[in-house]
Amino acid sequence: MQVLVTGGAGFLGRRLAARLLERGFLAGADGRQQPIERLVLLDVVAADGFADPRVQVIAGDITDPAVLAQAIGAETMAIFHLAAIVSGQAEADFDLGMRINLDGPRRLLDRCRAVGHRPRVVFTSSVAVYGGDLPAEVQDDTAVRPQSSYGAQKAIGELLLTDYSRKGFVDGRVLRLPTISVRPGRPNKAASSFASGIIREPLNGEAAVCPVPPATRLWLLSPRKAIEALIAGHDLSAEQLGDSRTINLPGVSVSAADMVAALARVAGEAAARVRWEEDAAITRIVGSWPGAWNTSRAEALGLSGDQDFDAIVRAYVEDDLGA
pLDDT tens per residue, range 207-260? 999 999 999 999 999 999 999 999 999 999 999 999 899 999 999 999 999 999
Give domain status of residue 189, yes or no. no
Q: Does residue 118 share a domain with residue 266?
A: no
Give domain status of residue 315, yes or no. yes
Q: Does residue 230 share a domain with residue 271?
A: no
Percent of the chain having pLDDT more than 90? Answer: 89
d(CA 96, CA 103): 10
Residue 303, helix vs strand vs coil: coil
Range of the domain at 97: 2-177+221-248
Judged by phi (left if over 0) then psi (alpha if -120 to 50, else beta), residue 55 lies in beta
In the residue annotation, 130 being an active-site residue is answered as no
Q: Does residue 208 share a domain with residue 160?
A: no
Question: What integer pLDDT is reported at residue 191 of this predicted model?
Answer: 84
d(CA 297, CA 162): 18
Model pTM? 0.94
Q: Does residue 267 share a domain with residue 167?
A: no
- Reported as a pLDDT band with limits 50, 70 and 90, residue 323 is low
Question: What integer pLDDT is reported at residue 267 of this predicted model?
Answer: 92
Tens digit of each residue's pLDDT (9 = 90 or more) over 260-279: 999 999 999 999 999 999 99
Q: Does residue 75 share a domain with residue 29?
A: yes
Tens digit of each residue's pLDDT (9 = 90 or more) over 105-142: 999 999 999 999 999 999 999 999 999 889 989 998 89
Q: Does residue 49 share a domain with residue 73?
A: yes
Question: What integer pLDDT is reported at residue 188 of this predicted model?
Answer: 82
Question: What integer pLDDT is reported at residue 190 of this predicted model?
Answer: 83
Average pLDDT rounded to a whole number, residues 302-318: 95
Give domain status of residue 234, yes or no. yes
Residue 183: Cβ within 10 Å count: 23
Q: CATH number, domain at 27?
A: 3.40.50.720
Its sign, for the CA torsion 39, 23, 176, 316, is negative
Question: What integer pLDDT is reported at residue 39 of this predicted model?
Answer: 98
